[in-house]
Amino acid sequence: MLSQKTIDIVKSTVPVLEKYGKDITTRFYQRMFTNNPELLNIFNHANQKQGRQQTALANAVYAAAANIDNLGAIIPVVKQIGMKHRALGIKPEHYPIVGENLLGAIKEVLGDAATDDIIKAWAEAYGVIADAFIGIEADMYKEAKEQPGGWDGFRNFMVDKKVKESDVITSFYLKPEDGKAIASYKAGQYITIKVLPEGEKYTSLRHYSLSDAPGNDFYRISVKRENGIGEWPDGVVSNFLHKSVQEGDIVQISAPAGEFVLEEKEIPAVLISGGVGLTPMVSMFKTIVKEQPERKVTFIHGALNSQVHALKDEVEKIVNEHENAESFVAYSAPTEQDLAEKNFDKQGFIDLNWLQSILADNQADFYFCGPVPFMKIMYRTLKDWGVSEENIHFEFFGPAGTLEEEAVTA
């Protein structure tokens, strides 16, 4: 338990963290990777370069300070981050390293304003927050290992099949090298893959949503090849998987994880995706028609055109075989062939007017996933339509962030 004095001091720093939070976390990562370069084997280098990890951590630190007298309020966020930590292999011994470098960064950025009392209070507060993470993550590690077919850390899987789904998306069917059982998962969850591309000094880890329904003897991920734009280089892991990993090769993955999961409800389900964000949606779509065949479900997908639209045949097959399932497609830049074949339902982007024209009402459970700009638009769209917060579910790719805040400020 923290003393009232410590709580008061930490809460007094909230305005400062709001102003200098990203400066502090940027310096924090610089310090940590200089002092402990081995941690570069865990952290997402692309998110570091883009500043997304720094922003996410700044938001987390700010939230912790603002709620230091009621840490129970941020437990949902702790669980979400903790789930990713478990998937990445973050262990208790990493927390003292983080704490030391975070306090050092606060001192460096704030200078004389970071008094001894402030540093001492934050050291105590960090200890309590770290213990909360360590405790929650310990339960997650235990559950991942002890579940049927579960395991600890990373396990070798063989690429059983590699299937090109579109010009930019390829599916990988993964089976355990040891031939033993694999852990089940909930529709919407992801696995974490660890690779060491040729020429790279450090391993790279990425989360990829599982794109098939649970219950198979394999895991399937459908990966978009990320091509560089402007100053941003090609995606290291996605290009390695597309170009270098072949059938029969071995990759390492951690057990399925994630808080973005399908809920069993009586009301209709609406699954909305943009680009490769359809991967968890396909898993949910297949799961609903299998486990709740009487439930109305609508699959809505937005893509550039048919050349980059993956898994379309699978979705159409489900619609043809299940009377309670329907699907709609929006192409923002249809090809001449798309226009001739009329193989889509809307030219342009998914918007409120179109949703209202194809859905009976807003009394449904909405799930959505896609690129960050798409996510912001969908969140605002559903809120503008009056969809209740409890019926809005999303997967925010990249570092944990607060989509609600990003949508408001976009």
d(CA 378, CA 374): 6
Q: Tokens 């043809």 appear where? A: 320
Q: Flag whether 279 is marked binding.
A: yes
Q: Flag whether 293 is marked binding.
A: no
Catalytic residue among 62, 137, 141, 367: 137
Q: Flag whether 276 is marked binding.
A: yes
Q: Flag whether 381 is marked binding.
A: no
Q: Flag whether 396 is marked binding.
A: yes
The alpha helices in 274-409, defined as continuous H runs, are 278-291, 312-321, 336-341, 352-358, 372-384, 403-409
d(CA 123, CA 399): 24
Q: Flag whether 398 is marked binding.
A: yes
Let me know if 95 is a catalytic residue: yes
Q: Flag whether 277 is marked binding.
A: yes
The two tokens of residue 114 are: 């970071």
3-state secondary structure of 35: helix
Q: Tokens 């699959």 appear where? A: 299
Q: Which of 296, 304, 299 is nearest to 283 (CA)?
A: 299
Q: Flag whether 399 is marked binding.
A: yes
Q: Flag whether 397 is marked binding.
A: yes
Let me know if 316 is a catalytic residue: no
Q: Give the number of other CB atoms < 10 A from CB of residue 60.
A: 21
Q: Flag whether 289 is marked binding.
A: no
Torsion angle of the four alpha carbons 16, 17, 19, 21, in this order, in degrees rounded to the nearest 10:
150
Catalytic residue among 29, 95, 173, 219: 95
3-state secondary structure of 330: strand
Binding residues for NADP(+): 275-280
Binding residues: 85, 190, 275-280, 396-399
Binding residues for FAD: 190, 396-399
Binding residues for heme b: 85
Catalytic residues, by residue number, are 95, 137
